[in-house]
Amino acid sequence: MLSLRGLAVLLTSASLCLGAPSKDCAFKPKETIAPPRGWVKHSSPNADHNVVLRIGLPQPNFHVLEQHLYEVSDPDHERYGDHLSKEEVEELVAPHQESIDAVDAWLSSHGIAESDVTRSPAKDWVTLKIPVSLVEKMLDTKYHVWKHTSSDDYLVRTTSYSLPSDLHDHIDVIQPTTTFGRFKGAKSTFIFDDEPESSVSDATKSTLAPIVNAASGVTVDASCNTTITVTCLQQLYNAVGFKPKAKGNSIGITGYLEQFANIQDLQSFYADQRPDALNSSFKFISVKGGLNNQTLAEAGAEANLDVQFAFGISHPIPGTFYSTAGRPPFIPSVGTPTDTNEPYTDWLDFVLSHPNLPLAISSSYGDEEETVPESFARRACAGFAQLGVRGVSVMFSSGDGGVGDGDPNPATQECFTNDGRNTTKFIPGFPASCPFVTAVGGTQNINPEVAVSRFFSGGGFSNYFKQPTYQKVAVEKYLEALPKGLYKGLFNPEGRAFPDVAAQGDRFRIFLSGRPVSIGGTSASSPAFTGFVALLNDVRLQNGQSSLGFLNPLIYKNGGAFNDITIGHNAGCGTPGFNATAGWDPVTGFGTPNFGKLKGVVSSH
């Protein structure tokens, strides 16, 4: 129901708009983009095609939330670890009542009732499902069916939309309008084992002497140079013998795009690599209709990889797998399916509405930053900040296309801007470029551990987000050592730099559809790193301390607690990309975790 103020706004607007056009009622462009690279107009959607429209209202106090985030995440601040509650966060991101009333009045003027809308707990998002013909009227625009030429994907989108002038200050963003992101998993590559009945001991059997890793000084089985297992990661990252036992700990994995984590495969993996975890499983949560198909033949390689290694490393810490319904394929000739947004925002809506969340969460999905309009990327990034200030550590894979567009083959990458000018430029990934998440790059080999080379660890500099204070010293040191003029104009040296850290990302042995598989990608690096974050949370909880929450300020003040990776590069866009080097670099960040050192770091704050 509208408030009295809202009713007054509605009556005032109606009286203005029924007469001669006024400056308050005149439509003013809100967002305009160039036709996106790789997409062509295909047709017009049916007038009754449904659109799930999301309206983001301003968060006028987000700067206050951001200040809280940096204070509670800075290990040198007196408030370190003093995370906020769900209710405190919602109060900080709530829009002004004036904005709520103005938007309500606008919706009501188009015949949309309160019962037709869904609101986020903080009322900063309004969601409604309406025909595209009504959306076009409300936004003074024209939608088209767009076809992606190389994949045959279809989307119903527009390249511009407008709002009445008096609404511009009350609405940050409306989607789906100009978002053409194809939201995909980091490109995992895998090879089926020729010996499906072999055990891990057979698969990794080696007559070679154990290897002493030069960076960490730990001893690692020689077989880990060809096959990565839970034991390999425990050895390499100095966590052998640690047993989690704190109460209240938790770890989570996000799953999208009809990826199902198969429990039978998980049991096979546990029997193979973690027999003490046999007969344990994870909590399944469906988001927006996400399914849980346990048919063995339909197991998801990405989902299986994520849960097997994240939960295998962190056992017996309770695990949760979120299955979020992916963007449904739009087929122009079939009925009127519903068009929706990138599913990570659906997941964010869901988890932010719940009081108790996993303390460490990994996601191996993303887009090219330029395919996500900046206004929408900023709102999604703000959602990750809300998780961080509540004590949740959020990890994202940095991607597998080096400095390029996500295509792991540098020869076929298209490194052009999406602004209509087709300027050659490196293509950062999102959400890895969000300054409020921890981006994880990929490594391989044991001694020395190097930047992964079968694909290339995603990394670089955001074109949307400025460089946060926590990383300026480390990034400036890297840039000062970069040959003068190298890649000038190809990247934004003032942007948020990523990745922050790295972990092994190739030759992971998992089980898929009942068979052992060798799999690789930074999609392996993120869940592996997250498993160790869960162990570090356990250290703190055992000491009566809070969870780690947003990790980056801690990481950038303790770079020496990571195994520095100094060999390798991340080719793309017809270039060798950036080089891994001493200290932080935009290939492997500060390097891979040394749990023995990090355990001391997190205990001391």
- What is the pairing mode between strands 251-255 and 319-324? parallel
Q: Which residue has the higher pLDDT, 26 or 216?
A: 26
Least confident residue range of 23-27, 333-337, 500-504, 524-528: 333-337
Q: What is the pLDDT of residue 372?
A: 86
Least confident residue range of 192-196, 440-444, 537-541, 592-596: 192-196
Q: What is the pLDDT of residue 331?
A: 63
Residue 335 has pLDDT above 80, yes or no: no
Among residues 155, 125, 160, the alpha carbon closest in space to that of 140 is found at 160
DSSP of 194-260, one letter per residue?
S-TT--HHHHT---SPPEE-TTT--EE-GGGGT-B-HHHHHHHTT-TT-----TT--EEEEE-TT--
In angstroms, rounded to a whole number, what is the distance separating the alpha carbons of residues 447 and 441?
18
Q: What is the pLDDT of residue 327?
A: 58
Q: What is the pLDDT of residue 4?
A: 42
Least confident residue range of 88-92, 195-199, 311-315: 195-199
Residue 569 has pLDDT above 70, yes or no: yes
The H or E element that residue 430 is part of is strand 429-430
In angstroms, rounded to a whole number, what is the distance separating the alpha carbons of residues 81 and 78?
9
Q: What is the pLDDT of residue 407?
A: 62
Residue 341 has pLDDT above 70, yes or no: no
**Structural contact between residues 456 and 570, judged by C-beta atoms closer than 8 angstroms:** yes
Phi-psi category of residue 167: left, alpha or beta, with phi > 0 → left and psi -120 to 50 → alpha: alpha
Taking only the tens place, the pLDDT of each residue in 507-531 is 999 999 999 999 998 999 999 999 9
One-letter amino acid identity for 486?
L
Q: Considering 73, 323, 523, 526, which one is annotated as catalytic?
A: 523
Residue 97 has pLDDT above 90, yes or no: yes
Q: What is the pLDDT of residue 406?
A: 61
Cα dihedral 476, 452, 523, 147 sign: positive
Q: Which residue has the higher pLDDT, 579 or 337?
A: 579
Is the N-terminal amide bond of 332 cis, ω within 30° of 0?
A: no
Q: What is the pLDDT of residue 344?
A: 74
**Structural contact between residues 323 and 299, judged by C-beta atoms closer than 8 angstroms:** no
Taking only the tens place, the pLDDT of each residue in 106-136 is 999 999 999 999 999 999 999 999 999 999 9
Q: What is the pLDDT of residue 409?
A: 62
Q: What order of strands is seen across the sheet that includes strand 184-185?
A: 184-185, 365-368, 429-430
- Find residue 440's DSSP bridge partners: 397, 501
Residue 6 has pLDDT above 90, yes or no: no
Q: Which residue has the higher pLDDT, 314 or 188?
A: 314
DSSP state of 359: S
pLDDT band at 412 (very low <50, low <70, confident <90, very high): low
Q: Considering 31, 124, 166, 302, which one is annotated as catalytic?
A: 302
Q: What is the pLDDT of residue 75?
A: 98
**Structural contact between residues 501 and 449, judged by C-beta atoms closer than 8 angstroms:** no
Q: What order of strands is seen across the sheet that includes strand 125-131?
A: 117-119, 125-131, 50-56, 173-175
Quick one: how far is CA 76 from the chain centroid?
A: 27
Which three-class secondary structure state does DSSP give residue 43?
strand
Residue 196 has pLDDT above 50, yes or no: no
Q: Which domains does the chain have, with CATH numbers?
A: 4-59+94-180 (no CATH), 192-328+343-603 (3.40.50.200)
pLDDT band at 183 (very low <50, low <70, confident <90, very high): low
Mean pLDDT value across residues 242-246: 96
Greatest extent of the chain over all pairs of C-alpha atoms, in Å: 88
pLDDT band at 193 (very low <50, low <70, confident <90, very high): very low
- The residue assigned the tokens 């409020």 is 436
Quick one: how far is CA 412 from the chain centroid?
A: 25
Residue 217 has pLDDT above 50, yes or no: yes
Mean pLDDT value across residues 271-300: 92
Cα–Cα distance list, 475 to 113, 384, 460, 472, 481 (Å): 50, 22, 11, 5, 10
Is 286 a known active-site residue? no
In angstroms, rounded to a whole number, what is the distance separating the alpha carbons of residues 152 and 147?
6
| The token pair that represents 232 in the structure block | 């390999």
Give the Cβ contact number of residue 361 at 10 Å.
29
| The token pair that represents 54 in the structure block | 């999301």
Mean pLDDT of the chain: 89
Burial class (CB in 10 A: 0-12, 13-18, 19+), 468: middle
DSSP of 160-187, one letter per residue?
EEEEEGGGGGG-SEEESSS-----EE--
Is 281 a known active-site residue? no
DSSP state of 544: T
Percent of the chain scoring above 90 in pLDDT: 71
Cα–Cα distance list, 491 to 65, 432, 547 (Å): 29, 16, 35
In angstroms, rounded to a whole number, what is the distance separating the alpha carbons of residues 104 and 119?
11
In angstroms, rounded to a whole number, what is the distance separating the alpha carbons of residues 398 and 405?
12
Cα–Cα distance list, 518 to 195, 264, 310, 521, 579 (Å): 12, 18, 16, 11, 27
Binding site: which residues?
564-565, 583, 585
pLDDT band at 213 (very low <50, low <70, confident <90, very high): confident
Residue 1 has pLDDT above 60, yes or no: no
Residue 19 has pLDDT above 60, yes or no: no
- The residue assigned the tokens 């309009």 is 373
Residue 408 has pLDDT above 80, yes or no: no
Mean pLDDT value across residues 341-368: 88
Binding site for Ca(2+): which residues?
564-565, 583, 585
One-letter amino acid identity for 84?
L
Is 306 a known active-site residue? yes
Q: What is the pLDDT of residue 197?
A: 41
